[in-house]
Copies of this chain bind each other. A is one copy, B any other.
Amino acid sequence: MSPQPSLDAVLNRIDADLPQALERLMDLLRIPSISTDAAFKADCARAADWLAADLTALGFEAASRPTPGHPMVVGHGGTGDKHLLFYGHYDVQPVDPLVLWDRDPFDPIIQDTPKGRVIRGRGTSDDKGQLMTFIEACRAWKAVHGTLPGRVTIFLEGEEESGSPSLIPFMQQNAAELTADIALICDTGLHEDTIPAITTMLRGLVAEEFTIHAADKDLHSGMYGGLAANPIRVLSRVLANLHDDQGRITIPGFYDQVTELPEAIRAQWQSLSFDHAKFLGDVGLSVPAGEQDRTPLEMIWSRPTAEVNGIWGGYTGDGFKTVLPAQAHAKISFRLVGDQDPDQIRAIFRAWVKDQLPADCRAEFHLDGGAGASVMAISNPAFEAARAALTEEWGLPAAYVGSGGSIPIAGLFKSVLGMDAMLIGFARDDDLIHSPNEKYDLECFHKGIRSWARILARLA
């Protein structure tokens, strides 16, 4: 299992080229490609163009490809019997609340911290820094050997943070060129900051925005307060009823398609000795707040959840306004596991909300779409090969882990294109993805590139 000479040269090249790789990443980070906000549409296109140009410079046959939403970037390079597809996304989350950032989220910087050097800025970890680890590994192979170790397709999306509306149609319309032997996805993390990990279980996601309507106009709470229905109070009741005192979701039928964790996986997870006190302590918390009869790791990897992600209604500005509003709004998301069906969960949630509305109130629902949970095919030998490569690079046995997040693409490669997918990433739990002051550790970027070089050597 010792590295081949050809790989050694590639790893050396990666080490030597790191400053230039960082400069390229900084260029990409400076483009505010926030996909969920229409104001940044041109920036998303610019990020796609930047990536297509970079891949072209690398010898890929690459282009930014239009969709009804933000463009996809597809590049083909190398030759060989084995065809690997790499997936990442160039869009990023919104940056609000901007006031909590220590600096401009799109003016990235390298900073020294007590825990090492970090790259700071929106998208550093999710997912621009991660997707560039693979591109830089390809660049080093190309620089050293003049070619890639096999046939590689790079497929980059610009709508991952906004529900991927164009993804399935694009995959269907371009199935022939996108179907490979296996898909490699870099949008996950290390386990406990140090253990290289392949994520084999992912929760699904249903996102829902809804509005409770009461009066047909805002009212004065002095004139109407105590007599007229208050939609904020109605919404609060609905949201308060969503969980019982034990942290279980109360929607009838919600748990019907939830499968229990196999004993073997449960045992392996216990051996991972997840330090939930540290995981929570890092963000100022101490007590697991979920289902009281579940372990913390089960709560985030294998149990379904319902969380309120946003709420608003009435007067929210400075000072006070004694208004009794006409409407109140919430954004809510469900993480799904097992065989929970997104459409069915959405349907029973909506029915459950409507059942609770008092007279004079009605609910309006705004979002659609969703994805079920995914379990990866670890019987595919590529998994053990990648695991060996990761173990080699990081010096610790790589683990198969679950993830609380939802990465629908992993399941879509199977359901749309019939290919297995493997999730490998180098993020750390304190990367603050989706939050102010997002960062990516320089060590993760560097060893991430080296990891992909090793994986390419074994798989291609």
- Chain A residues proximal to chain B, CB less than 8 Å: 36-38, 93-94, 96-97, 100, 161-163, 203, 205, 207, 209, 214-230, 232-233, 235-237, 239-243, 247, 276, 279-280, 283-291, 296, 299-300, 303-305, 307-325, 328-331, 333, 335, 358-360, 367, 403-406, 429, 432-437
Establish whether residues A404 and B316, one from each chain, have CB atoms under 8 Å apart when the complex forms: no
The residue in chain B whose Cβ has the minimal distance to the Cβ of A320 is: B207
Interchain nearest-CB distance for A143 vs B (Å): 35
Residues of B within 8 A of A37 (CB): 317-319
Give the copy number: 2
* A311:B316 contact, CB within 8 angstroms: yes
B405 engages A220 (CB within 8 Å): yes
A219 and B283 within 8 A (CB): yes
Given A218-B436, A321-B36, A435-B218: A233 touches B226 (CB 8 Å cut-off): no
Q: State the 10 A-B residue pairs at the shortest beta-carbon distance, nearest first.
A: A222-B405, A216-B284, A36-B319, A226-B305, A240-B240, A310-B314, A236-B239, A287-B359, A232-B308, A229-B289
Residues of B within 8 A of A223 (CB): 300, 404-405, 429, 433
Query: A311 touching B309 by the CB < 8 A rule?
Result: no
- Contacts A207-B322, A223-B429 known; 19 new A-B pairs at CB < 8 A: A36-B317, A163-B319, A207-B320, A215-B283, A217-B284, A220-B433, A221-B333, A225-B300, A226-B291, A227-B300, A232-B330, A236-B308, A309-B320, A309-B322, A310-B313, A310-B323, A311-B311, A311-B314, A322-B406
Which listed residue, B229, B307, B330, touches A221 by the CB 8 Å rule? Answer: B307
Identify the closest chain B residue to A97 (Cβ).
B218
CA distance A304 to B303 in the complex (A): 43
Measured between C-beta atoms, what is the minimum distance from A278 to chain B in Å? 13
Residues of B within 8 A of A323 (CB): 309-310, 434-435
A305: nearest chain-B partner, CB-CB? B226
A251 to chain B, nearest CB (A): 15
Q: Which residues of B contact A279 (CB under 8 A)?
A: 227
Q: How far is the CB of A288 from chain B (nearest CB, A)?
A: 5
Q: Please give the distance in Å from A127's CB to the nearest CB on chain B.
A: 13
